[in-house]
Amino acid sequence: MFTSIPKERRLILIKLIADNGLPVKIQATWTDNDYYNRRHPDLDELECVNVAGWLIRINGKKYPRGNYDEHDNLDWTYRYTPSEGKTSLGKWIAIGRALTSAGLKTEEPKDVIRENQIRLFTWAEKQTMREGFSA
């Protein structure tokens, strides 16, 4: 008997083609985790740090890449946190930032200009619309 996985826990694999012609497989996951740090190395006092944001994997490689904390230890708790938050637009903004970090570019979706359109859509907005229409 199979159980259904809640929608927010499902991983969606996005496939794009980079400008260099190579396939790019992207997984975007919203994470909301608690990490505990010791306040002092000799004490058992713990400090809780909540980390919420988008974790992006491009061809299996995690983005954002590890950063270093104040003690020069590798810190993997960084996430992409666009102001749009846990929305489809926020996800595509995070994917765009991860692609930029990876030094990759994908084909720009075509502009659809309407007479009453005030401004051009951003790359993330176009991807959000494309995703919404294909669902």
- Residue-range domain boundaries for the chain: 7-134
Q: How far is CA 120 from CA 47, 89, 100, 125, 133, in A?
A: 45, 15, 20, 10, 19
Of residues 122 and 7, more confidence is placed in 122
Give mean pLDDT, residues 94-100: 87
Per the prediction, the chain carries an average pLDDT of 76
Give mean pLDDT, residues 37-59: 86
Q: How far is CA 65 from CA 47, 58, 74, 101, 120, in A?
A: 24, 11, 10, 8, 31
Structure tokens given for 8: 């927010």
Say whether pTM exceeds 0.75: no
Instruction: Write out pLDDT tens, residues 50-95.
Output: 888 898 898 888 888 777 777 777 666 678 888 888 888 888 888 8
Of residues 53 and 4, more confidence is placed in 53
Distance CA 73, CA 82 (A): 25
